[in-house]
Amino acid sequence: AMIEKGNYRHYMQKEIFEQPQVIGDALATYLDPATRRPRLPEGGPDWAAVPRLTIVACGTSSYAALVAKYWFEQIARLPVEVDIASEFRYREAPMPKGGVALFISQSGETADTLAALRYAKDENQFIVALVNVPESSMAREADLVLPILAGPEIGVASTKAFTCQLTVLMCLVLAVARSRGTIDAAEEARLCAALSEVPARALEVLNHDEKIRAIALWLAEARDVLYLGRGAIFPIALEGALKLKEISYIHAEGYAAGELKHGPIALIDEAVPVIVLAPHGPLFEKTVSNMQEVLARGGRVVLLSDTAGIETEGRNAAEIIELPMVDAFVTPVLYAIPVQLLAYHTAVAKGTDVDQPRNLAKSVTVE
Ligand code: G6P
């Protein structure tokens, strides 16, 4: 069926605004309604016996993989390797006996990711496909399929598929942590409660649309933009930069904030906006000290933090986007939304073709 844009100007905008709904749909499937604990389809591996998880993907999906690495390692104490499919498929990596390989793909058809899946299958890995299209090639060839339930995504730049990937990955991590005995009941209940709140918090984040549009008006004048983050938010900095490049054609880079001094700080001057993603929490002070280094060199900072973060350090930033106070576990999915909106409004301000950016395809089924 033809999918309508409704009151939205672009499919991408519609898909950004659908996120509270589709994240809720994913949670309704992956959280048991009675216990609010994650439930996964039957037929998965014995996670307690898995020596290593390998996650492979392309583009935006590869940033979901990178976020998941932080979660699986911290919460489920499971060693994780992440690679982009175009490298992984040719590098002849040895894979451990009893290992699990997870392939993340909106389309389930990306040629490099599919080839990587076949390689892992030859290496006798248990194959899990996290896809949006349940009839896709990857779904057919996997041992276990985890549909992300985002609904059809039309905009070439992925938005709701990314946050649904993260949502299903959070459920998977909690289920894996339980079967590996690395999480106690109280902690699991606390994280599940944070997870259940994500749709409501995502709706609050979307309320910043007007403010973000105003910021995008000056972002549209920039030639280069830097995005900084740490920990599980670092991949969101990468995703923010990718989104901006894809649809506004402005050069952007995402960096781990701690790596700033090893190169990118040389780029900083009044003309380079720096988007700092810094939810309060154990890494907040570290990220803020990197932000101070940027400010000391005349950089114009857009700080994305929450009430607690902003009270401490917000006064020095040029612009502040105040996001809801949530558990650190769920911040990647919530901080993904403002960076999508920043890219969207910047592209609209520049007058580019938001839904069909030049040179890009929705699904890359050739090498
Ligand atoms: C293309 C799209 C991206 C997407 C990537 C991976 O480059 O433009 O939005 O992230 O492919 O696609 P997949 O379907 O495998 O997630």
DSSP assignment of 308-349: HHHHHHGGGSSEEEEEPP--GGGHHHHHHHHHHHHHHHHHHH
Q: Distances from the Cα of 335 to the Cαs of 100, 204, 293, 331, 347, in angstroms?
A: 29, 12, 22, 6, 19
Pocket test for ligand 1, best of 15, 16, 56, 58 (most atoms within 8 A of CB): 58
Cα of 363 from ligand 1 centre, angstroms: 6
Ligand 1 first shell, C-beta below 6 A: 58-61, 105-107, 110, 113, 156-158, 360, 362-364
Cα of 108 from ligand 1 centre, angstroms: 9
In tens, the pLDDT along 23-47 reads 999 999 999 988 889 988 889 999 9
Any idea what DSSP says for residue 7?
T
pTM surpassing 0.95? Answer: yes
Of 55-59, 142-146, 291-295, least confident by mean pLDDT is 291-295
Pocket test for ligand 1, best of 362, 365, 366, 367 (most atoms within 8 A of CB): 362
User: Which domains, and CATH codes, for the chain?
Assistant: 11-196 (3.40.50.10490), 203-350 (3.40.50.10490)
Mean per-residue pLDDT for 70-79? 98
Atom of ligand 1 nearest to the CA of 113: 15
Q: What is the C-alpha separation between 186 and 266, in angstroms, rounded?
A: 46
Cα of 83 from ligand 1 centre, angstroms: 15
Cα of 162 from ligand 1 centre, angstroms: 10
Cα of 360 from ligand 1 centre, angstroms: 9
pLDDT at 2: 66
Confidence of residue 76 (pLDDT cuts 50, 70, 90): very high
